[in-house]
Amino acid sequence: MIEIKTLSNKEEKSEITNYILRRLPEWFGIESAIVDYVKGVMNTDFYAAYDGSEPIGFISTKLNNKYTAEIYVIGILKEYHNNGIGKKLLEMSQESLIKEKVKFLMVKTLGESHADKNYRKTREFYNKTGFYPLEEIKEIWGKENPCLIMVKNL
């Protein structure tokens, strides 16, 4: 049975992030980005999904201002994709943000002008869960990695 927990221990957040992201090279193949995420999740709201005692996914969110939060990073082990785990993690984090009176949730992902099939599935997930594309910007991650900003009204 899948269980979702809220985590506050900084080291535990980092360990889970490192464990999951290193098993998702199709999405997280840049070493410096993994290192940044592993460090960055320490100061975010963090929810982890477990299959028994095994971590299988997580979502990390941060406040950008009093109105807007951002999905800092999310990852679910590939063998658990399409089982509703990402949706459950997202719902749990949104409930907390709504209690804090946050109005918008945004996410940055690889833009539509990039042909990557894995990120096409990622954008489909965000679309299905209520996110809308706002703008694709090449200046954030470079021309080779266009950044699509997506937003959702909470």
Question: 66: helix, coil or strand?
Answer: coil
φ/ψ of residue 89, rounded to 5 = -60, -45
Alpha-carbon dihedral of residues 72, 75, 81, 87, nearest 10 degrees?
Answer: -40
Q: Which residues pair with 63 in a beta bridge?
A: 69
**DSSP 8-class letter at 42:** G
**Cβ burial, residue 101 (10 Å; 0-12/13-18/19+):** exposed
pLDDT tens digits, the chain, 154 residues: what are they? Answer: 899 999 999 999 999 999 999 999 988 888 988 999 999 999 999 999 999 999 999 999 999 999 999 999 999 999 999 999 999 999 999 999 999 999 999 999 888 777 777 778 888 999 999 999 999 898 887 788 788 999 999 9
What is 1-102's CATH number? Answer: 3.40.630.30
Per-residue model confidence (pLDDT) at position 105: 98
- Are 109 and 151 within 8 A, CB to CB? no
Q: Where are the domains of the chain?
A: 1-102, 106-154
Neighbour-count burial for 105-115, b at 16+ CB within 10 Å, e otherwise: bbbbbbbeebe
**Cβ burial, residue 142 (10 Å; 0-12/13-18/19+):** exposed
Q: How many whole angstroms separate alpha carbon 91 and alpha carbon 87? A: 6
pTM of the model: 0.90
